[in-house]
């Protein structure tokens, strides 16, 4: 499954951002510096997105997320601009939508999966 062609490209233009969560456990010690060790369950990279959509594009996004991806439970493939690889992405959390000046503003977060 891929990002719908009738929606704006995910990684085109300004505003691309990636968040790299902390991948370590930190422990306080009685004295001296704390200890740190890698997390075997380190969280995945998060990509917050905001897109301006027409009414038909908004319906396409909702159909893609809620029907094709079972309300965000399934994943899709997309070309990643930084790594230059095709990666597996999934929606995390809520899909926020506001209406502003004849456009819908959709905000959501994608997660890069292993």
Q: Is 107 helix (H, G, I), strand (E, B) or coil?
A: strand
pLDDT digits (tens, 9 = 90+) for 60-95: 999 999 999 999 999 999 988 888 899 999 999 899
What is the spatial distance between Cα 103 and Cα 51, in angstroms, rounded to a whole number? 10
What are the boundaries of each domain within the chain? 24-113
Distance of CA 2 to CAs 7, 56, 90, 99, 105, Å?
A: 11, 18, 11, 26, 21
* pTM, two decimal places: 0.79
User: Looking at residue 52, what is its pLDDT?
Assistant: 92
């Amino acid at each position: 499954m891929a990002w719908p062609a009738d929606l704006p490209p995910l990684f085109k233009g300004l505003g691309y951002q990636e968040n790299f969560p902390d991948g370590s456990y930190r422990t306080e010690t009685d004295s001296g510096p704390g200890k740190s060790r890698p997390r075997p369950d380190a969280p995945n990279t998060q990509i917050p997105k905001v897109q301006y959509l027409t009414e038909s594009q908004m319906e396409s996004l909702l159909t893609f997320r809620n029907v094709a991806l079972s309300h965000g439970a399934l994943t899709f493939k997309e070309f990643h601009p930084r790594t230059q690889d095709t990666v597996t992405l999934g929606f995390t959390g809520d899909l926020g939508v506001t209406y502003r000046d004849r456009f819908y503003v959709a905000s959501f977060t994608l997660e890069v999966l292993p």
